[in-house]
Structure 1
Amino acid sequence: MAKPDYPIRTERLLLRPFTPADHAALHSWQSRPDVVRYLYGGPRTHEQTAESLALKCSVTWPSEEGQHLALALQRGDEVIGETVLKWHSREHRQGEIGYILHPDHHGRGYATEASRAMLRLAFENLGLHRVTASCDARNEASWRVMERLGMRREAHFRHNEWFKGGWGDEMIYAMLEDEWPG
């Protein structure tokens, strides 16, 4: 379980731990109704964003199951989004990835690029066996990212939960360590 050297460089991005200076950037997407429409909870206040940021800053590498590593996605001098690696189980070597980008940066492949780096961390640094990702079935852009990563669709749960005033469908994707092209 080797903690990586930060920042992690991809072709166009730097992935790095969040710092308190990232509040304005984080709030720029966490406060938007169009960003949170497929996420639990609603738009965040400045205070709620500060609480979220404190939690993100507290974990720079997951040292125990249940922890979430959130990394800022930086393009040039601007933080444009975040990506997360959740460590679900030590025994079963399971985890989950996720991503959120400010809408100004959608459609350019940044989520795929950042998520590929997170899969590398999951399999090569954390030693996971299986990594999942999930999204609201209506969020086609999100499940298309999972498909571009080479993750396989394992489930389409229909009406599996009451979500924001209606029944929601959920898509589940996964990749095993021996499927990771590394």
Structure 2
Amino acid sequence: MFQPAYPIRTERLTLRPVAMDDLDDMYAYQSRPDVVRWMLGAEPRTREQSRASVLAMAGEDAWRAEGDCLTVAVVSDARVIGAVELVWRSERDRTAELGYVFHPDHGGRGLATEAVVALVSWGFDEVGLHRVFGRCHARNEASARLMTRIGMRQEARHVQSYLFDGVWADQLVFAVLAGEWNALPRSRKG
């Protein structure tokens, strides 16, 4: 089993397991059309749908087996402003997939970058991952910029690779290897 030593603290944030007490904060962004806009098949959530989502995430506090998702709540000024996750895609290949979602009211201050860097660093430094990758809709410029900013390289553009709201869409794939991550200047990683 792999589990961070909670809480993970950064200069301005605390990353910790999701709890049911986070419902109000998470519902505040899960219910927004501008937040779920780039999520495949996602629609703004009702409060009950958010409750189910938070309950599911509350059980994602560690990696117990390949395929598990580790999700952490990102806390700033005693409020949950987003969530970051790593999905354990391959034990043998030591690979994980990055995901994140943040309340737009907290954008533009580098908080998402800081949180993502903290969890990716845990994956490389504590778990011994070899590769972390992330995917996004090709028009999701903010997500692509975040992955580039933390030192991930664009590896692929899968042209018309999936149906998104009934239309064929391109998907961008970004990745970083452990050696590349460790060679990045600290300032580049957030």
| TM tier, smaller | over 0.9
TM-score after normalising by structure 1: 0.95
1:118 corresponds in structure 2 to: 119
The within-5 A match list for 1:37-76 is 37-40=37-40, 41-76=42-77
1:72, 1:82 within 8 Å by CA — same for their partners in 2?
A: yes
TM-score after normalising by structure 2: 0.91
Q: Deviations over 1:8-34 (max 9, x none)?
A: 111111111111100111111111111
Relative distance call for 1:148 and 1:46 in structure 2 (3 A) is same
2:81 corresponds in structure 1 to: 80
2:72, 2:85 within 8 Å by CA — same for their partners in 1?
A: yes
2:13 corresponds in structure 1 to: 13
2:154, 2:172 within 8 Å by CA — same for their partners in 1?
A: yes
Asked if residue 174 in structure 1 is aligned to residue 164 in structure 2, the reply is no
Give the C-alpha shift of residue 2 in structure 1: 5.2
- What is the rounded CA distance, in whole Å, between the counterparts of 1:142 and 1:33 in structure 2? 16
Q: Deviations over 1:81-128 (max 9, x none)?
A: 111111111111110111111010112111111111111111112221
2:22 corresponds in structure 1 to: 22
The within-5 A match list for 1:98-109 is 98-109=99-110
The within-5 A match list for 1:134-153 is 134-153=135-154
- What is the rounded CA distance, in whole Å, between the counterparts of 2:127 and 2:69 in structure 1? 12
1:3, 1:125 within 8 Å by CA — same for their partners in 2?
A: no
Is there any run of 5+ residues in structure 2 with no aligned partner, and where?
Answer: 184-190
1:95, 1:128 within 8 Å by CA — same for their partners in 2?
A: yes
Is there any run of 5+ residues in structure 1 with no aligned partner, and where?
Answer: none
2:2, 2:62 within 8 Å by CA — same for their partners in 1?
A: no
| Percentage of matched positions with identical amino acids | 46
- What is the rounded CA distance, in whole Å, between the counterparts of 1:167 and 1:36 in structure 2? 18
1:155 corresponds in structure 2 to: 156
Give the C-alpha shift of residue 6 in structure 1: 1.2
* One-letter code aligned to 1:107: G
